[in-house]
Structure 1
């Protein structure tokens, strides 16, 4: 989808660069990356400091590993996204391919130590392509060292299994489920075989492993419930089930509200933090009056029982597909001179950042209920207000007028001006309509599943955001089939059981450029102790989508998929953009310091570790089906020479 955002063809240019040879780095203390988000709270911070702004330009490829999924699944690989972030724990590097092949590696060379292929059916079509964002490591405190599965790797699969493998040799944990696996959605009743999948890693807290799900969007009113399941980490016995829509108002008909993004854990408090999605169907809510319980919320549940400790809703009565899309980030935060408090920092597709008390769910940075547009289609009952944090200011623009339209030429801009003027457009939360409504940011915009990186020493969050326009048009149910037949290449979904189906399209100029002004992708730094923006810089270039166009379109950035990490060395690393690079930025100033060429799109979150005195930065480079970036199956590690 995002490839269609960019770019008109331009003359090809060649660009070469060189950098001075840095001095040999001093050996550093070993440092793991034992969780998907670096730590259980998802801060994506590493204490590694061998790589600094002064020497980062000397990074070179240290090793490369190919998962082989492009060869193993040549047809289905076009429907895959390599979004994996490896982890380093127990002296081994672990990762998964989009087709759920899990592997362990030598941290110094990338050489595989073992692999396991659960052999998922590659002919099934899933909601979010074939995808595996990561695996989970757990050390059983009750097991003797070197006992079978004393160290366990958990992986949830596209076909909704939960697997437990011995971290040492990859063998099945025989005591878990049936021969090391179980059905992770045992109560799901799917409308089609691929109607649900699991893309994000599970979490483990106090011997309980918790699993979310990803469910079809826009298809029907009576969708599969988005229940979260928890299992005993040793036996696989079901411990509890939590449905975010439990307790909704009588007469409400809906499903989903699932947890497809990564979760976070506070083991000391025994809490799991769930980012929930919108209820079904996404763009018309007449069958679900009210605010849909804990949909579109950050929900803290007790890991032992699944009981809700608290919930905070970021969007009321969502009809914009504004899921909570990112891992909640747990931190200690002192806001405006107050005492340090345990916090949850949550980014959203709207570009808003909510900061909540981890123990109560109450805002640490105040939140205001502000009037929102009303007047939806017949039967719709919208919330008259929506929540807005007073700080930081929105990190993505959310208002546009026809006069703001972008274009390379007067003709191009005039076409965009006409498209914007022809749609309903009252700012953020304008209701979907039969006229066609502007959604700004678009539903892939603001901050997405890559989440943030947080440097607790400075209280600074690093956030990448995307900016584009969606036009969403409601289609009377009786006309959906005919419109789909007339426009087979446009996203048109039935929302079966509702009065309206939907059509969703990105607003582009005749030259294929976004109609909203650039930058279309940025990386920002926010001081969370004050709520102030420290810096923002465009992220990415159109180089790999239209060679040479980066010279015509400077500083525009690109939409991006993936997230940042930050190190004690003062460097922010991020891929994500629609060109084939891993980049390094100065954490203090936002200056781009280095970029390393990748063999394919780097639409994944990197990680870093120190092994035997040498710091490595690792990223999956395999491209992304919905982004249109170059496809591949490589994992690339960079390090300083020597």
Structure 2
């Protein structure tokens, strides 16, 4: 009978493999060139997801090899690609590693040997790599298929995708050193954090620049190189500089490519510095914009700005999602752009014009001295915001923390979205890392549903007059930015209570599903618990801030990580949490899924996140359905659920208490026996 069961299982897996399409693989950071994060795999479903088991765990070795103070400056945000029969990803130190997809065994590794003595402004991080095949090269030639990766020390590297060896014909020995175009204050002021993109024989790379350091920060040029030779093809500075004194306007977030149209889509940032723009008058085009360029030439096709004259750090952190949607008036190719404010802009892919009306609405004024704010900001009208955009007294957390939070928020300007930064202190909600972040959105093209993770927390931003900023000592947990060249420095911190809880009521992180055609939120679902943040592993179902994104499948599931150490699966229709898989440390990264030898796997980078205050690790973990005769025990099912660790600690504490009581009882009996002997003698 067991043999028959195994035969049927093999036949089913083979059938699944035969039905798999190009979406069975995960060849791009966002699943496909347009970042839909959708897989047509259907082997894992809501009915059997509870049978997932850990298939393998791979450790990069960084935790043992690197000094603890260096590891405390890492963010493990990588998403592997399945290409050339390997899972290929990058570590926070830009090592590129290829694994066997079925066992997790290392196949090759390339180390660019970046210096850990540098202090990258955005910490040591690498979100992913890019894959490209040279269709002009003969089969079997070296570097016909290539892996491109950017580094924290501003290099663009090309590797043979099969061997990991540098491509000698690209740049100098396989790499191009990128000139930031200005003198850096320190080596880590300028770095590359997101994966490059490719198309039409061109590789395009952005940059990440230190925020709030100075007016004359490095420029934000996006650079393109010949994918074969590494020769420069073009550069594009998003910031139109007529009368503008500012840096930045760069692209640190992931980009997207429409190969058929020959377009690359850039999500651009705010100019530097973030919170005072008196020296950069006007709307600051094309910062804070979705920008479409001709990928072969860098020529501007169109641009759409989502924030005018940004002084809130509301840059575009998410990959533009390219999709074909039913608008109600027929199918249309669009660009879907989620934002930190929790807006969703839907733009025509050829023109950049909004598919549904976007209104210019009046916003709070009276900025800091020397500031000239935009009187209006763009508001989408069809798709509702993915989360609330204003904090009131009713939203403040209850209990012992309430009065302290009310005092903090009451002392700050709080006039809703786009309240300008002030010397009084201003409530920024959604916070500057809130709404949808670099994890981006995901789109199900079959059911026409958009999914995204959102973070719910409050920032307080305070401008500090220049004379007071000299010698200013930032309190613990506060971010200080000198904003050199402006009349104000800045301080930014999370609104938390004396007990360390966020001042706003939970949930603090939610997954959202949106019907774009109807312009309707289908469901919200809290994601994450306090288990790996709170003392004793107490798992409060508050949700956790979610900078990472999701992966969706035709099998009806949405997978995501969180700030606690679990990979989770949700029912795509209802938002109900169906499964949790325990990780070595939190997986603050985008998951991916793939088919390998007839079995569907789900994998996630699980190395923690220093900015989120999690434990730090160095692993990639993959799960698959249990094979016949294989499966988790009842005990492991129990302890691998949120709250399970608390249960273990409670059981251990109970056993220790029982042992202590037993020991006391034995000692008492012995003492009484000795007394009885003494009395009888």
TM-score tier by shorter-chain length is over 0.9
- Residue aligning to 2:558: 572
Residue 325 and residue 56 in structure 1: after superposition, are their counterparts in 2 closer, same or farther (change >3 A)?
A: same
1:354 — aligned with what?
Answer: 345
TM-score, with length taken from structure 2: 0.88
Per-residue CA deviation, residues 50-105 of structure 1 (Å, 9 max, x unaligned), is 00000000000111111111122223111000000000012221011000110112
Deviation at 1:401, TM superposition (A): 2.2
Q: Which residue of 2 aligns with 1:376?
A: 367
Q: C-alpha offsets along residues 410-436 of structure 1, whole Å, 9 cap, x if unaligned?
A: x42111111111101100000000000
Q: Where in structure 2 are there 5+ consecutive unaligned residues?
A: 1-7, 628-681
Residue 487 (1) aligns with residue 475 (2): yes
Give the corresponding residue for 1:61. Answer: 54
Please name the residue that 2:97 is paired with.
Answer: 103
Query: Is this contact kept in 2: 1:24–1:641, CA < 8 A?
Result: no
8 Å contact kept, 1:367–1:390: yes
Q: Give the aligned partner of residue 156 of structure 2.
A: 162
Counterpart in 2 of 1:312?
A: 304
Deviation at residue 191 of structure 1 after TM alignment: 2.4
2:71 to 60, 73, 77: 77
**Cα distance in 2, alignment partners of residues 65 and 481 from structure 1:** 47
C-alpha distance in structure 1 between counterparts of 2:312 and 2:335, whole Å: 24
In the alignment, is the contact (CA less than 8 A) between 1:402 and 1:418 conserved in 2?
no
Contact preservation (8 Å) 2:181, 2:219: no
**2:624 maps to 1:639:** yes
Partner of 1:511: 499
Distance in 2 between residues matched to 1:376 and 1:186, nearest whole Å: 32
Deviation at 1:320, TM superposition (A): 0.4
For residue 488 of structure 1, report the CA deviation from its aligned partner. Answer: 5.9
1:367 equivalent in alignment to 2:358: yes
Q: 2:434 aligns with which of 445, 463, 484?
A: 445
1:33 corresponding residue in structure 2: 26
User: How far apart in 2 are the matches of 1:403 and 1:334?
Assistant: 38
Query: Does 1:430 pair with 2:423?
Result: no
Distance 1:505 1:175 in 2: 47
Alignment of 1:94-133 (within 5 A): 94-133=88-127
How far did 1:489 drift? 5.1
- How far residue 400 of structure 1 moved from its aligned partner, in angstroms, is 1.5
Q: Is the counterpart of residue 297 in structure 1 residue 283 in structure 2?
A: no
1:240 and 1:188 mapped to 2: Cα distance?
18
Q: CA deviation at 1:189?
A: 3.2
Map of 1:7 onto structure 2: none
Shift of 1:202: 0.2
Q: What does the per-residue CA deviation read over 1:379-412, in whole Å, with 9 as the maximum and x for residues that have no partner?
A: 10000000111132111211122343213x2x42
Match of 2:220 in 1: 226
In the alignment, the residues of structure 2 paired with residue 584 and residue 550 of structure 1 have an alpha-carbon distance, to the nearest angstrom, of 21
Post-superposition CA distance 1:207-262 (Å, at most 9, x none):
000000000001101110011000000000000000011x333x210010110000
- What SS does the corresponding residue of 2:471 show, helix, strand or coil? helix
- CA distance 1:489–1:529, change in 2 (3 Å): closer
Residues 212 and 229, structure 1, Cα contact 8 Å, conserved in 2: yes
Equivalent-residue separation in structure 1 for 2:139 and 2:484 (angstroms) = 54
Cα shift readout 1:5-39 (whole Å, capped 9, x = no counterpart): xxxxxxxxxxxxxxxxxx95831225210000000
- In the other structure, the counterpart of 1:243 is 237
Q: What is the aligned partner in structure 2 of residue 342 from structure 1?
A: 333
Note the 1:612-627 alignment, pairs <5 A: 612-627=597-612
| RMSD, aligned CA | 1.3
* TM-score under structure 1 length normalisation: 0.93
Q: 1:184-199 residue pairs with structure 2 within 5 A? A: 184-185=178-179, 187-199=181-193
Tell me the CA shift for residue 479 of structure 1: 1.4
Structure 1 residue 186 displacement after superposition = 5.4
For residues 87-130 of structure 1, what are the alpha-carbon distances to aligned partners after superposition, in whole Å with 9 as ceiling and x for unaligned? 00122210110001101121111111110100000111111110
> Which residue number in structure 2 is paired with residue 11 of structure 1?
none
Is this contact kept in 2: 1:367–1:388, CA < 8 A? yes
Match of 1:282 in 2: 274
CA distance in 2: counterparts of 1:561 and 1:403, whole angstroms:
26
Distance in 2 of aligned mates of 1:488 and 1:513? 15
Contact 1:401 1:420 in 2 (8 A): no
- Cα distance in 1 for partners of 2:214, 2:186 equals 12
Q: Is residue 436–residue 547 contact of structure 2 (8 Å, CA) maintained in 1?
A: no
Retained in 2: the 8 A contact 1:196–1:216?
Answer: yes
Larger RCO (CA under 8 A, 6+ residues apart): 1
Q: Residues of 1 paired with 2:180 and 2:314: CA distance?
A: 27
Question: Aligned partners of 1:547 and 1:457: how far apart in 2?
Answer: 43
User: Contact 2:568–2:581 at 8 Å: present in 1 too?
Assistant: yes
The 1:514/1:226 distance shift into structure 2, 3 A limit, reads same
Distance in 2 between the 1:186 and 1:175 partners?
Answer: 23
Q: Is the 8 A contact 1:63 1:638 kept in 2?
A: yes
Counterpart contact for 1:315–1:386, Cα < 8 Å: yes
Point out where structure 1 has 5 or more consecutive residues left out of the alignment. Answer: 1-22
Q: Is residue 99–residue 132 contact of structure 1 (8 Å, CA) maintained in 2?
A: yes
Partner of 1:586: 571
After TM superposition, give the deviation of residue 493 of structure 1 in Å.
1.3
Look up the match of 2:444: 455
Q: Which of 457, 462, 467 is the equivalent residue of 1:473?
A: 462
Larger helix fraction of residues: 2
Contact 1:461 1:526 in 2 (8 A): yes
